[in-house]
């Protein structure tokens, strides 16, 4: 296990000495560039806090390995989503244009930091791409504490003011698109099947459904559900809401939408004609089954991540705000009345 106590960093020294990070770097590598009094002050703080230049972090920023590390998590069983394939394909192609390659690594599922420390200490990669930015995950803060370059796919849900580069997709906008489409099809009692309250991503998508229903002055009471990302759980939740008059569903994932389709089959109902159904992520399952679904622009996300990586490795400061990209709605038979 990695120690939770982060050592003093270059940023620590800069803050205490009241100088820039570049000035601290000059004190260590080019002391002749500094005024004697500034050099003395910086070296005094270095000694006071016990800062030792991290050779690994320094080499990370030099770009010697030409590799970008990404921890790859296995797909959850029982779900219809394999989004990382689209993202990774474009990420590999885009990084190749900058002269880098993607290094995938795995880790202990119970330890979100497993694997990072080994790569950081061995200087095996130039930077990292993070894809796990859910509430409570420690990777971004851990890498920042060690001055390791990275860009995140996913906003910093725990700290909206976090100062690092990130790219995300507007999930609320996607749910609004799906709900507005079903309203246009004549539905008034549109159910929402989303993830548990602890999921910031799920709650963000839920706000889009709520906003669209509120704008149309349509009821939402008892029509929203929070459950695990599991087709069987969604199937049972769909039965409950159809029983109280739901005529359509917006789902936080294609997995849940598949559960709704199963419930319709059990009731002898047809998707689109009898009950409208829209999923989220436009997975291969959606394309095969004729499921309408919100499509995330994962290719554009990957291109933007690589652009930010290139700027980060060149020493550019992190943007003041992250990049949020808009999704689109792919309409198929499951949501079209008629």
Which of 336, 194, 204 minimizes the C-alpha distance to 273?
Answer: 336
Q: Is the pLDDT of residue 55 over 70?
A: no
Report d(CA 53, CA 50) in Å as an integer: 10
Instruction: With beta carbons less than 8 A apart as the criterion, state whether 206 and 224 touch.
Output: yes
Average pLDDT value for residue range 315-336: 93
Q: What are the residue boundaries of the structural domains of the chain, listed by start?
A: 10-53, 67-169+298-326, 171-296+329-335
- pLDDT tens by residue, 263-310: 999 999 999 999 999 999 999 999 999 999 999 999 999 999 999 999
Of the CA atoms within 13 Å of residue 277, those in its CB half-sphere come to 34
Higher pLDDT, 159 or 74: 159
User: Per-residue confidence at 75, pLDDT binned at 50, 70, 90?
Assistant: low
pLDDT for residue 61: 53
How far, in Å, CA of 185 to CA of 181, rounded? 6
Q: Are 286 and 294 in contact (CB under 8 A)?
A: no
What local confidence, expressed as pLDDT, does residue 2 receive? 40
User: Which CATH number, 3.30.565.10, 3.30.1330.20, 3.40.50.2300, 3.90.1150.10, labels domain 171-296+329-335?
Assistant: 3.40.50.2300
pLDDT confidence tier of residue 10, bands split at 50, 70 and 90: confident
User: Quick one: pLDDT band at residue 96, thresholds 50, 70, 90?
Assistant: confident
Instruction: Name every residue whose Cβ is closer than 8 Å to that of residue 323 and which is 6 or more positions away in sequence.
Output: 166, 167, 168, 304, 308
| 67-169+298-326: CATH topology | Rossmann fold (3.40.50)
pLDDT of 16 above 50: yes
Say if domain 10-53 classifies as CATH 1.10.10: no
Q: Would 67-169+298-326 and 171-296+329-335 be classified into the same CATH topology? A: yes
């Amino acid at each position: 296990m990695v120690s939770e106590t982060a050592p003093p960093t270059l940023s620590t020294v800069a803050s205490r000495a009241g100088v820039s990070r570049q000035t601290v770097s000059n004190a260590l590598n080019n002391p002749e560039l500094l005024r004697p009094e500034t050099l003395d002050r910086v070296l005094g703080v270095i000694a006071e806090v016990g800062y030792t230049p991290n050779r690994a972090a320094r080499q990370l920023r030099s770009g010697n390995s030409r590799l970008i590390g990404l921890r790859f998590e296995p797909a959850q069983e029982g779900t219809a989503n394999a989004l990382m394939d689209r993202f990774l394909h474009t990420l590999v192609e885009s990084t190749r244009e900058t002269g880098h390659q993607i290094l995938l690594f795995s880790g202990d599922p119970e330890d979100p930091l497993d694997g990072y420390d080994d790569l950081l200490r061995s200087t095996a990669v130039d930077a990292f791409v993070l894809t796990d930015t859910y509430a409570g995950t420690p990777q971004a803060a851990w890498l920042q504490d060690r001055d390791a370059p990275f860009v995140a796919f996913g906003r910093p849900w725990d700290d909206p003011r976090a100062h690092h580069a990130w790219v995300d997709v507007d999930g609320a906008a996607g749910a609004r698109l799906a709900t507005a489409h079903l309203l246009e099809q004549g539905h008034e009692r549109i159910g929402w099947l989303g993830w548990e309250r602890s999921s910031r991503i799920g709650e963000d998508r839920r706000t889009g459904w709520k906003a669209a229903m509120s704008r149309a002055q349509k009821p939402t009471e008892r029509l929203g559900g929070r459950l695990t990302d599991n087709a069987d759980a969604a199937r049972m939740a769909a039965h409950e809401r159809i029983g109280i008059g739901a005529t359509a569903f917006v789902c936080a994932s294609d997995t849940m939408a598949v559960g709704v389709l199963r419930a319709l089959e059990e009731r002898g109902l047809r998707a689109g004609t009898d009950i409208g159904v829209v999923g989220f992520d436009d997975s291969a399952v959606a394309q095969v089954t004729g499921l309408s679904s919100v499509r995330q622009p994962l290719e554009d996300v990957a291109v933007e991540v690589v652009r930010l990586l290139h700027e980060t490795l060149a020493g550019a400061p992190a943007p003041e705000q992250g990049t949020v990209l808009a999704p689109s709605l792919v309409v198929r038979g499951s949501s079209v009345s008629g």
